[in-house]
């Protein structure tokens, strides 16, 4: 419990709904340690019965990491906070180590939250982290400063990001500087660990951090202003794209999306139409990243010019008089494999086992099986519907195709549900509108509500 009120202009937790509890990610560094103290102070005053679990991830990458985790455990014991240490086990990659460590950290944090029935994870990312992130992306952008040029990345880190469509990662300290948080720790006589990799010039972020530290305060503020403007543009673009998807996209068959050509190709906002197309292409193709902006714009121009059949991001784009149809291409589909709980098949369908699946396999339905189906809605060419269904997953047992996944003959123990591929792993709150629109369109699980008062996207 803090002896005095923190010397901060606003309460960073006042807009967060803690009804279902919270997991605090605490590494032992200054930012996450301050997060823990401030969070404990807030909950003691406003919601003392809230379930709070602190989790420290020991990546096992440094000799002192285990001792640092134990220091956090001792601090939590002093504060009366439940604490757990989780270790990233297994081999570590020789390349891309920071990204792999970050992925492992979020996975372990999400598993800890799920085990406790908690849907929210809090991290200690600060305004300094945000400025570093934006500066790195700005440099890759070549200083163009346009949200689409940088892949929407100039918005930086979102106030909240949905991980794996199940746990919200909330960043309440994005509006606070690291120096202010360290002042809080000094006043409370609480120490912290300094990770030597944070100053290792072999990695990009430490180099950017050093550059910001050597610059003016205005430089940091400039990056934060750029992030704020880019975030606003990104939300507005997403809202416009979502509106187009809601109005002009339909699903005549599983795995087949129809777009209304006259309306989609002649919008008031062409940027939003291209953005909507990119999201749908990635979703149908099961790709985690949106297709290239320039190639998508070129495809959009060709669609305007007339009928065509092209492929981008594993998605066949078939433009006809009856509409523009999107379906998964037949190449590169997964081979038959045993059904495993929690996996995402082909980047497009999440598998959930509610019971023992026996000897069930999952594999593409196939063109031969699709030809046997009676398809047609009077509006969509049957050949397109069969082609789309051929690329869908089917359940097999003993060499016999039971049914398309989710069909009437499929075992009740197995659920195979569509996912919004580009947002299935990480869904920043900036992108809630288009993610929700696509989820409605394809029948994916609804986006869990934001853990914010009023559900603001921030």
pLDDT digits (tens, 9 = 90+) for 293-324: 999 999 999 999 888 999 999 999 999 988 99
Comparison of pLDDT for 201 and 66, the residue scoring more: 66
Please give the structure tokens belonging to residue 223: 């990056």
CB 29 within 8 A of CB 193: yes
Task: Spell out the alpha helix ranges (H) of 249-372.
Answer: 261-264, 270-285, 293-305, 367-371
How many Å apart are CA 89 and CA 300, to the nearest integer? 46
> What is the reported pLDDT for 411?
55
> What is the reported pLDDT for 158?
96
Please give the structure tokens belonging to residue 213: 């530290």
> What is the reported pLDDT for 196?
64
Please give the structure tokens belonging to residue 174: 């994005």
> What is the reported pLDDT for 80?
97
- pLDDT tens digit sequence for 236-294: 999 999 999 999 999 999 999 999 988 777 777 899 999 999 999 999 999 999 999 99
Average pLDDT over residues 214-225: 75
Place of tokens 């560094």: 29
Q: What is the CATH number of domain 22-230?
A: 3.40.50.620
The closest alpha carbon to 88, from 55, 133, 121, belongs to 55
Helix-helix angle 30-46:178-187, to 10 degrees: 70
> What is the reported pLDDT for 257?
97
> What is the reported pLDDT for 210?
63
Average pLDDT over residues 361-382: 83
> What is the reported pLDDT for 151?
47
Lowest mean pLDDT among 35-39, 192-196, 404-408: 404-408
CB 17 within 8 A of CB 453: yes
How many Å apart are CA 25 and CA 163, to the nearest integer? 14
Average pLDDT over residues 407-434: 85
Please give the structure tokens belonging to residue 388: 């789309």
In the chain, pLDDT over 70 holds for what percent of residues?
A: 85
Say which residues have a Cβ less than 8 Å from residue 91's Cβ, sequence separation at least 6: none
Residue 216, pLDDT > 80, answer no
What predicted TM-score, i.e. pTM, was given to this entire model? 0.90
The closest alpha carbon to 130, from 175, 181, 179, belongs to 175
Task: Spell out the alpha helix ranges (H) of 191-335.
Answer: 204-213, 217-248, 261-264, 270-285, 293-305
What is the pLDDT of the chain when averaged over all its residues?
Answer: 87
Average pLDDT over residues 359-363: 85
Average pLDDT over residues 116-130: 95
Comparison of pLDDT for 159 and 206, the residue scoring more: 159
Most confident of 60-74, 221-235, 427-441: 427-441
Average pLDDT over residues 391-417: 74
Average pLDDT over residues 335-345: 91
Average pLDDT over residues 18-33: 96
Q: What residue segments make up the domains of the chain, in order of their start?
A: 22-230, 337-418
> What is the reported pLDDT for 214?
60
Comparison of pLDDT for 331 and 150, the residue scoring more: 331
Residue 171, pLDDT > 70, answer yes
> What is the reported pLDDT for 150?
46
């Amino acid at each position: 419990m803090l002896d005095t009120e923190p010397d901060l202009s606003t309460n960073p937790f006042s807009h967060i709904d803690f009804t279902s509890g919270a997991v605090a990610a605490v590494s032992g560094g200054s930012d996450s340690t301050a997060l823990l103290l401030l969070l404990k102070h807030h909950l003691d005053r406003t919601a003392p019965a809230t379930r709070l679990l602190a989790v420290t991830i020991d990546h096992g990458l440094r000799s002192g990491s285990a001792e640092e985790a134990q220091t956090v455990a001792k601090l939590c014991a002093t504060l009366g906070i439940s604490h757990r240490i989780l270790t990233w086990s297994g081999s570590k990659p020789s390349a891309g180590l920071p990204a792999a460590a970050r992925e492992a950290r979020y996975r372990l944090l999400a598993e800890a939250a799920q085990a406790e029935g908690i849907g929210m994870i809090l991290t200690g990312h600060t305004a300094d982290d945000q400025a570093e992130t934006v500066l790195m992306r700005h440099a890759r952008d070549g200083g163009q400063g346009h949200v689409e040029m940088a892949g929407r990345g100039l918005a930086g880190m979102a106030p909240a990001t949905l991980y794996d469509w199940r746990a919200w990662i909330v960043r309440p300290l994005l509006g606070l500087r690291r120096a202010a948080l360290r002042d809080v720790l000094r006043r409370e006589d609480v120490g912290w660990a300094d990770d030597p990799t944070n100053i290792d010039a072999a990695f990009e972020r430490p180099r950017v951090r050093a550059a910001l530290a050597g610059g003016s305060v205005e430089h940091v503020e400039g990056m934060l202003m750029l992030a704020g403007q880019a975030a606003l543009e990104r939300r507005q673009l997403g809202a416009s794209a979502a509106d187009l998807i809601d109005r002009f996209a339909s699903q005549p068959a599983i795995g087949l999306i129809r777009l209304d050509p006259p309306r989609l190709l002649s919008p008031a906002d062409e940027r939003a139409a291209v953005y909507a197309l990119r999201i749908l292409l990635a979703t149908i193709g099961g790709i985690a990243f949106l297709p290239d902006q320039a190639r998508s714009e070129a495809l959009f121009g060709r669609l305007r010019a007339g009928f065509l059949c092209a492929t981008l991001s594993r998605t066949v784009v078939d433009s006809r008089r009856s509409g523009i149809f999107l379906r998964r291409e037949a190449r590169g589909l997964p081979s038959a494999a045993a059904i495993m709980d929690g996996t995402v098949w082909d980047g497009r369908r999440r598998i959930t086992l509610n019971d023992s699946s026996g000897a069930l396999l999952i594999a593409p339905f196939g063109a031969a099986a699709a030809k046997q189906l009676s398809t047609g809605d009077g509006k969509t060419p049957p050949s397109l519907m069969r082609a789309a269904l051929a690329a869908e997953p089917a359940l097999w047992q003993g060499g016999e195709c039971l049914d398309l996944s989710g069909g009437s003959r499929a075992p009740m123990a197995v659920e195979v549900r569509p996912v919004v591929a580009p947002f299935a792993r990480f869904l920043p709150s900036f992108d809630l509108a288009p993610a929700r629109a696509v989820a409605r369109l394809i029948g994916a699980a609804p986006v869990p509500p934001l853990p914010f008062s009023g559900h603001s996207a921030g």
